[in-house]
Structure 1
Amino acid sequence: MDRILKSISFIFHPLIMPVLGVGFYYFISPRFTPQEIIYAKLVSLTILTIILPVLIYFLLKTLDKVQSIYLKTTNERILPLLLNCVIILIVLLRILTQSQFAELYFFFIGILISTMSCLILAIFRFKASIHMISISGLFMFFIALSIHFNININDILALMCIITGAIATSRLHLKAHNYKELLMGIFVGVMPQLILVNYWL
C-alpha cells in the first residue's frame, strides 16, 4: 500500500497537469484544429512545462537550493514557484494566445494565479498542497469544458473524483501535508478557474 500511494503522488505530479488539460481540450473540442498545430502546441508545452522545470530542479538541487522534487519546505518552494510563473507567462505570450484558444488561454491564466497564490503562501510560511492545486484546477477546467461544449463526460469526471481522492490520501499517508494544507490547495486550484470561467464560458 505504501508503494501504491507513493506511486500515485509521482504519477499524478503537478507538472503533467497543464499538458493533460490541453490534451483533453483538443480531444473533446468540436472545433477543427489541424493536427500539425495540435502536435506543435503539445510538444512546446511539454518542453516548457515539464522538461524545463525538471532541468531547473536538477540545477537547483546541484546548487543545494532544493532537497527533494516534492519541495517539502516553504523555503524550497519560493524559487521554483517564481520560475514557474515566468514559464507560464512565456506560454501565455508565445504559445496559447487569447485570440487563438480562449479556453486554454484562461486555463493558463488560472494556473498562473494559482501558482502566484501558492508562492505568496510559501513566503508567509504556509505550505499549500501543490498536488491538490493542480488536480483540483484541472478538475474545474474539465467541468467547465463539459458545460461549454455541452458534452457528457460524467465518466471522466467520476474518474477525476477518484483520482483527486487518491492524491489527497497519498499526500496524507506520506505525511507531506495536513488537512488544512490540502483544503487550501483545493481552494487555490479551483477558485481562479471558477472565476475565469466568466471570460470564456
Structure 2
Amino acid sequence: MKNFLLKSISFVFHPLIMPLLGVIFYFSKTPRFIPVPIRNAKIFSIVILTIILPILLFFLLKTVNKVESIYLQSTKERIIPLFINCIILVLILFRVLTPNEILELYYFFVGILCSTLACLILAFFKIKASIHMIAATGFFMFAVAIGIHYQINVNGTIAIMMIILGAIATSRLHLNAHTNQELVIGAFVGLFPQLILLKYWL
C-alpha cells in the first residue's frame, strides 16, 4: 500500500502537469479581466503543447529506443526529450503567451525554459537533477509571487504545495529515483530562475 501510494504521488504530480497548474492558478487568482474564450484558448493550447504533445513524442522516442520510461531515469535518455521540450517552450513564448498579452505567465514560462535548459546542460555533464522537484518548486515560487504581486492570500496554496513538495521528495527517494543531492539540485534549478525573473514583472 505504501509503495503504491508513493508511486502514485510521482505519477499524479508529474512535471508535465505543473505548467498547466501554473496557468490555471494564475487565471483563478488574477483580478485582471480576461475574456473567458481567451482563457479557454490559452489553457487548451497549454494542454496540447505541454502534456499531449510531449506524451506523443515520448511514445515515438520509446518506439525508436531512445527512452525507457516516462521518468527519464538516466542522464543520457534525458537529452533528447529536454531539447524537444525547450523547442516547445520557445513556441509557447512566441505564439501562446507573448509578453504583450499576459506578462506574468510569459515570465513564468521563461523561467520554465531556463530551468529546462539548465537541466539539459546538467544532463550533458552527467549530472542528474530531479525534474519533479524542478517543476514543483518552479510552480511554488510562481504561486508565492502571484500572492505578493496582487496582494492576495495564497497561504492555502503555499501550505498545500509545501506538503506536495515533501511528498514528491519522499516518493522519489523511496523509489530510489534520486539521491538527496539530486533533489536539492532540482529544487534549486526550479526555484532560482523564477526568483531571478521576478524583477521583470513583480
Please say whether Structure 1 and Structure 2 have the same fold, judged by a TM-score greater than 0.5.
yes
Q: For 1:128 and 1:15, how far apart are their aligned partners in 2? A: 16
Pairing of 1:109-148 with structure 2 (within 5 A):
109-148=110-149
Q: Which residue matches 1:40? A: 41
**SS at the partner of 2:71?**
coil
Q: Distance in 2 between the 1:110 and 1:153 partners?
A: 21
Gaps of 5+ in 2: none
1:48-91 deviations in Å (ceiling 9; x for gaps):
00000000000000000001110000000000000000000000
For residues 98-138 of structure 1, what are the alpha-carbon distances to aligned partners after superposition, in whole Å with 9 as ceiling and x for unaligned? 01100000000000000000000000001100000000000
Q: What amino acid is the match of 1:127?
A: K
Structure 1 residues 174-185: aligned runs within 5 Å: 174-185=175-186
Counterpart of 2:197 in structure 1 is 196
Aligned pairs (5 A) from 1:95-106 = 95-106=96-107
Measured in 2, the distance between the counterparts of 1:122 and 1:39 equals: 35
Root-mean-square deviation (CA, aligned residues, Å) is: 0.3
Shift of 1:192: 0.2
What's the offset of the Cα at 1:159? 0.5
Q: Deviations over 1:11-41 (max 9, x none)?
A: 0000000010000000000000000000000
In structure 1, C-alpha distance between the alignment counterparts of 2:68 and 2:29, rounded to whole Å? 39
CA shift at 1:153, angstroms?
A: 1.1
Distance (Å, rounded) in 2 between the aligned partners of 1:193 and 1:36: 28
Note if 1:153 corresponds to 2:154: yes
TM-score with structure 2 length normalisation? 0.99
Amino acid of the structure 2 residue aligned with 1:52: L
**What secondary structure does 1:97 align onto?**
coil
SS in structure 2 at match of 1:98: coil
The letter for the 2-side match of 1:169 is T
Q: Percent identity?
A: 60
- Mapped partners of 2:23, 2:45: distance in 1: 11
SS at the partner of 1:143? helix
| Unpaired runs of at least 5, structure 1 | none
Local SS of the residue matching 2:172: helix
**In the TM superposition, what is the alpha-carbon distance from 1:156 to its structure 2 partner?**
1.2
1:66 maps to 2:67: yes
Q: How does 1:10-21 map to 2 (within 5 A)?
A: 10-21=11-22
For residues 148-182 of structure 1, give each alpha carbon's deviation from its aligned partner in whole angstroms, at most 9, with x where no partner exists.
00001101110000000000000000000000000
Normalised by the length of structure 1, the TM-score is 1.00
Q: Deviating runs (4+, > 2 A) in structure 1?
A: none
SS at match of 2:152: coil
How many residue pairs get aligned? The number is: 201
The residue that corresponds to 1:52 in the other structure is: 53
The equivalent residue for 1:2 is: 3
- After TM superposition, the structure 1 = structure 2 runs for residues 19-38 of structure 1, keeping only pairs within 5 Å, are 19-38=20-39
